[in-house]
């Protein structure tokens, strides 16, 4: 199926990540890990505003309070108010940093924040280092700040999504080229019953994902030049070609949640990829789901 794809913002990210849609602002927030940036894209004006941080910025989450975001930096979590640029440390500091760093993170339907870690592949100057297996951990940060470890011995933690009914949690490891499914207990904020959901796909490796209201997982493929649209039974429904090699994460936005916003990376790009690192937008037929919020359960 041919899909209409536009370059929404040619920002030249080294590694765009962490896309989250703010319906209240009609705007998209996302990060550039290697340049220590957070961007904000205003859908109406197409203007981009950018803030600089002191270390890699890996994920952004809405919270129960409008105007306040939870931001995952390489070594810790902070609260951030973009309107005033106020920043406050928030509880969790990553054990072992800077040898390891945080990576993909997202709030769950119960209001917890789940975030994974990995061997730190970002040097102090932002240049790319080497990742490696076995040093990543999957954490859950409860609304009261309590921290629980749910998975260890990971390579690169990626893909944190919940099914539309909130009963399945999806999580991936980029280095093993695997996405797993778990049973998710919303009352307890707990996962169990790990099984392989989608693995061994030859086009790149799994990076960030989003899920639509029909339960299809849209998985960005780093190094694969595509997005894999995966059916609830784990079969490949579609491979959507992209004009750059490294596709990093995506989320649904727009008033009708039918615009898929897609971040990409300029690092390790192929020759002639002048739009590598851009933010792209693609219209889709099935809407996504509203973003979960840290500290607030889905109602």
Q: Rounded distance, CA 288 to CA 161, Å?
A: 12
Which residue's structure tokens are 């390579």? 155
183 is catalytic: no
CB-based contact 217:211 (threshold 8 Å): yes
Task: Write the CA distances from 77 to 80, 101, 185, integer angstroms.
Answer: 10, 11, 24
Q: Which of 99, 21, 94, 24 is nearest to 60 (CA)?
A: 21
Among residues 104, 108, 173, 207, which one is catalytic? 207
Contacts of 98 (CB under 8 A, 6+ apart): 74, 75, 120
- Tokens found for residue 24: 């209240």
What stretch of H or E contains 70?
Answer: strand 69-73
Q: Rounded distance, CA 197 to CA 181, Å?
A: 6
What is the secondary structure of 108-162 as a DSSP string?
-TTS-EEEEEEE--B-TTS-B----TT-EEEEEE-TTS-EEEEEEEESBEEEEEE
Which amino acids are annotated catalytic? 207
């Amino acid at each position: 199926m041919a899909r209409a794809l536009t370059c929404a913002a040619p920002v030249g990210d080294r590694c765009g990540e962490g896309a989250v849609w703010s319906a209240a602002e009609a705007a998209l927030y996302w990060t550039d890990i290697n340049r220590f940036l957070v961007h904000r894209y205003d859908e109406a004006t197409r203007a981009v505003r950018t803030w600089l941080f002191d270390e890699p910025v890996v994920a952004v989450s809405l919270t129960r309070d409008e105007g306040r975001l939870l931001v995952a930096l390489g070594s810790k979590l902070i609260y951030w108010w973009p309107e005033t640029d106020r920043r406050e440390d928030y509880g969790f500091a990553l054990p072992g940093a800077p040898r390891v760093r945080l990576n993909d993170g997202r709030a769950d339907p119960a209001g917890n924040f789940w975030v994974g870690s990995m061997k730190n592949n970002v040097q102090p100057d932002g240049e790319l280092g080497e990742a490696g297996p076995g040093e990543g951990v999957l954490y859950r940060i409860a609304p009261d700040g309590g921290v629980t470890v749910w998975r260890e011995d990971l390579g690169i933690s990626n893909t944190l999504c919940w099914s539309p009914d909130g009963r399945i949690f999806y999580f991936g490891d980029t280095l093993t080229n695997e996405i797993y499914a778990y049973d998710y207990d919303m009352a307890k904020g707990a996962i169990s019953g790990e099984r392989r959901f989608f693995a061994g796909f030859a086009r790149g490796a799994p990076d960030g994902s989003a899920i639509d209201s029909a339960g299809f997982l849209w998985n960005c493929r780093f190094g694969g030049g595509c997005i894999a649209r995966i059916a609830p039974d784990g079969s490949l429904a579609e491979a959507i070609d992209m004009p750059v090699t490294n596709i990093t994460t995506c989320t649904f936005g727009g008033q009708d949640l039918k615009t898929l916003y897609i971040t990409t990376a300029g690092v390790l790009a192929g020759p002639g990829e002048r739009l590598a690192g851009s933010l792209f937008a693609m219209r889709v037929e099935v809407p996504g789901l509203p973003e979960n919020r840290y500290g607030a359960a889905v109602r």
